[in-house]
Each structure stands twice: as structure tokens, then as C-alpha cells.
Structure 1
Amino acid sequence: MYKKLFVLVAVLTFVLSTVSVGMAQDKEGNKAVADKVTSLVATAKKAIKTVPADAVKKAIDAKEKAIYLDVRDGGEFAAGHLPGAKNISRGTLEFKVAKEIPDTNAKIYVYCKTMGRSALATKTLNDLGYKNAVLMNAKYEDWVKAGYPVER
């Protein structure tokens, strides 16, 4: 009886320690990836032009011939977006942009929820030859908090 109990405790100890080590490694791995993503976004931001949200609002108010590109996912876009915005999610941008925005000289204001996806998207657009793609230097929620117009 004690032998079975000892074996059971030994097996449980082994399993729990293995799982704990795996979880610790996973957290370290996730942090390493998160740090790399943060670095990618920071590098992209250094390489692109940015404009403040109030400049984007002025462009909308002036009916400037421009594209307001929301690179969030469809559900986020449906919940609210800048007036007249076009939605191409960051995950499909490279595959859809040539068809959706054929003019590489178009003025494009790019935004998202946190400026991460939009920074990467703006850099990608510039790399693809879209010379006038700029990052709106504000989070979408900052736009909303400022009382700027939103469409749903």
C-alpha cells in the first residue's frame, strides 16, 4: 500500500515539476517574443512619418482627398471607425492593398487600436511603394476620447 502511494506521489511530483518548468520556459519564451515585437514596432515607428490625430481630424473636416486606413480586424472596425475609413486588416494587408488601393501616390492615414499594427502596416505600405502613407500618432481610443467623429 505504501509502495503504491509512494509511486503515485513520485509520479505526481514529476508531472507537476515538468509542467512547472514548461510553463516557466513558455513565459520566458513569450517575453522574448513580446520584446522582439516591441522592438519591431519601435523600429517601424522610427522609419515612418507620423501625424497627430488633430491633423487627421482636420483632413477629414476639410474633406481632403485621402484614405483613412483602419488595419484592425473586421469586428473591431464594425464596432466603430473613423468616418469614411477603409478596412484592411494588418494580417491581409500585403495581399489586398494593391487591389483596394491601387494608387501608390494616394495620401493614406493609417491607424489601429494601439499604434502597433498601424506602425507595422505603415512601414509595409512604404516598403511596397506607397510614398504618402503616414501613421496617425494616436490610439483609436484616444480619437474617441477626444470626441472626434466615429462611424459604426
Structure 2
Amino acid sequence: MSMTPQQLVEEAKAQIGEIDANSAAQRISAGAVVIDVREPAEFDAGCLPNAVNIPRGVLEFKTSDHPALANKDVELLLYCKTGGRSALAALSLQRLGYAKPVSVAGGFEAWVNAGQKVVKDTTNFGG
């Protein structure tokens, strides 16, 4: 059966946890690992505090060697521009055995619209 990209995203969202931007801010303060699955140019233009950039296209291949993904029991907070890529990423990580991947509903756009802090100098971040 053929599916559209939007149908794939909706299917993923039905199987993962999603939280809003304000809940995401609380979880970041509590120490959640933040993974930005956007492309590097998007990340460099602005990101969530403490975010690590691991683009969606390589995420599954980085799970064994990226320090941010070393602990499968840590709470992972994933986001992209609007929530589609991060939903697909959360489902992939869940299937790979990660216990707590959640996606930020509405992604970076929802984060900005909620008035949350955006970081633009990412030179000290991992990724």
C-alpha cells in the first residue's frame, strides 16, 4: 500500500509521545537530551538550548557512536521545523530500543511561537 509523507507522519505520531513547547522547556530544564533532527543550516540559524544536531537522514546510523545517544534509557527530546521529521525520528529510535523518545509537537516553529529561548551561537554545542 502506497502512503503519502503526511500519512507516514500521522502513523508515527499515533505510536510515539508528543509534548508541547512549554512541556519541552520543562524537560530541558530537568536534563532531557535534546536532539535537533533538522539539517545543519537550519540548526545554525537557531536551535533549542543544549540541542545536539543529528540530521534525520543519518540519525539511525549515529546511534552507536554519538555520545548523545549512548544511553537508551535517557529521556530524548526530538524536534525539527514543524514536527514531522521528529515524529518519524522518535518512532525510529523507539524501534531501536530507546525507552523515552518524544517529539515536540509543532517543532521549532511552535517553540518560537511559544516565546521560548532560541540559541543562535552553536559553536560550543556537540553534533
**Distance in 1 (alpha carbons) for counterparts of 2:32 and 2:64:** 16
Match of 2:32 in 1: 66
Quote the RMSD (CA, aligned, Å).
Answer: 1.3
Instruction: Show structure 1 runs of 4+ deviating over 4 A.
Output: none
Deviations 1:17-51 (A, max 9, x none): xxxxxxxxxxxxxxxx8x52111111000010111
Give 1:132-147 correspondences, 5 Å limit: 132-147=100-115
Number of matched pairs:
117
Query: Could you tell me the percent identity over the aligned residues?
Result: 40
Give 1:65-104 correspondences, 5 Å limit: 65-100=31-66, 101-104=69-72
3-state SS of 2:14 partner: helix
TM-score, scaled relative to structure 2:
0.87
Give 1:1-150 correspondences, 5 Å limit: 36-60=4-28, 63-100=29-66, 101-150=69-118
3-state SS of 1:82 partner: coil
Q: Which has the higher helix share?
A: 1
How far 1:151 moved relative to its partner? 0.6
Runs of 5+ unmatched residues, structure 1:
1-32
Q: Could you tell me which amino acid in structure 2 is paired with residue 104 of structure 1?
A: K
How far 1:139 moved relative to its partner? 2.5
Match of 1:13 in 2: none
The answer to whether the 8 A contact 1:50-1:137 is kept is yes
The answer to whether the 8 A contact 1:88-1:97 is kept is no
Kindly indicate whether structure 1 or structure 2 has the higher relative contact order, using CA contacts under 8 Å at least 6 residues apart.
2
How far 1:58 moved relative to its partner? 1.6
**Distance in 2 (alpha carbons) for counterparts of 1:133 and 1:49:** 7
The answer to whether the 8 A contact 2:49-2:119 is kept is yes
Kindly name which structure, 1 or 2, has the bigger radius of gyration based on alpha carbons. 1
3-state SS of 1:123 partner: helix
TM-score, scaled relative to structure 1:
0.73
Runs of 5+ unmatched residues, structure 2:
121-127
